[in-house]
Amino acid sequence: MRPILPTLALMTCLATPAPAWELYRLTDDYAATGNTAGEYVVNISCVRDRGTLYLSIAPFGMDRSAVDGLTKVSMQITLPDGRSEQVEVALTPERDSFDGPFPVRADWLAAFKDGREMRVSRTDTGLELFRSDMKGTGAARLLFAERCGI
């Protein structure tokens, strides 16, 4: 089983654009959250006992030129007090998305839970692909702890 299911999230987000991050509870040892902004769906997921998180970014617009040659993104979370946490994620192109693992860090998880805004940008050009508020990520953080032990 692939740790990320972008097609499911894409269908869900296109059917009912969500103001908050959606939660996905597919199995007892898997959890995911996803949101859509602009022309991208972003999912973050975990699988129990893997010790890592997974990022998936899926374009759903007709113009995919912004993701041509995409190999790495920077995911930055801004906290309400202006501080930020950032992680770079190396990506592999999949059929409908770009996916990659990134390490579990306590400071990043805390920022994910309490953050105000998330941005995902290409590391090679700085082009911002995704920007979203963080409504619902506190619940996602609890789900990651429950299902994945992180």
Residue 34 belongs to some domain of the structure: yes
**Which alpha helices (DSSP H) does the chain contain, by range?**
6-15, 106-114, 137-148
What secondary structure letter does DSSP report for 113?
Answer: H
DSSP string across 63-84: --GGGTT--EEEEEEE-TTS-E
Q: pLDDT tens across 12-33, in order?
A: 444 444 458 999 988 899 999 9
Q: What is the pLDDT of residue 14?
A: 47
What does the CA dihedral 111, 114, 59, 148 come to, rounded to 10 degrees? 70
Q: What is the pLDDT of residue 8?
A: 47
Among 49, 112, 116, 59, which residue's Cα sits nearest to residue 82?
Answer: 116
pLDDT band at 65 (very low <50, low <70, confident <90, very high): confident
Q: What is the pLDDT of residue 19?
A: 59
Largest CA distance in the chain: 39
> How far is Cα 102 from Cα 51, in angstroms, rounded to an integer?
9
Residue 128 belongs to some domain of the structure: yes
CATH of residue 60's domain is 2.60.40
CB 134 within 8 A of CB 42: no
CB 116 within 8 A of CB 132: no
Q: pLDDT tens across 82-92, in order?
A: 999 999 999 99
Residue 44 belongs to some domain of the structure: yes
Q: pLDDT tens across 77-118, in order?
A: 999 999 999 999 999 999 899 999 999 999 999 999 999 999
3-state class of 102 per DSSP? Answer: strand
Residue 1 belongs to some domain of the structure: no
Structural domain harbouring 111:
6-148
Residue 113 belongs to some domain of the structure: yes
Instruction: Give me the chain's average pLDDT, please.
Output: 88
> How many domains does the chain divide into?
1
Q: What is the pLDDT of residue 3?
A: 54
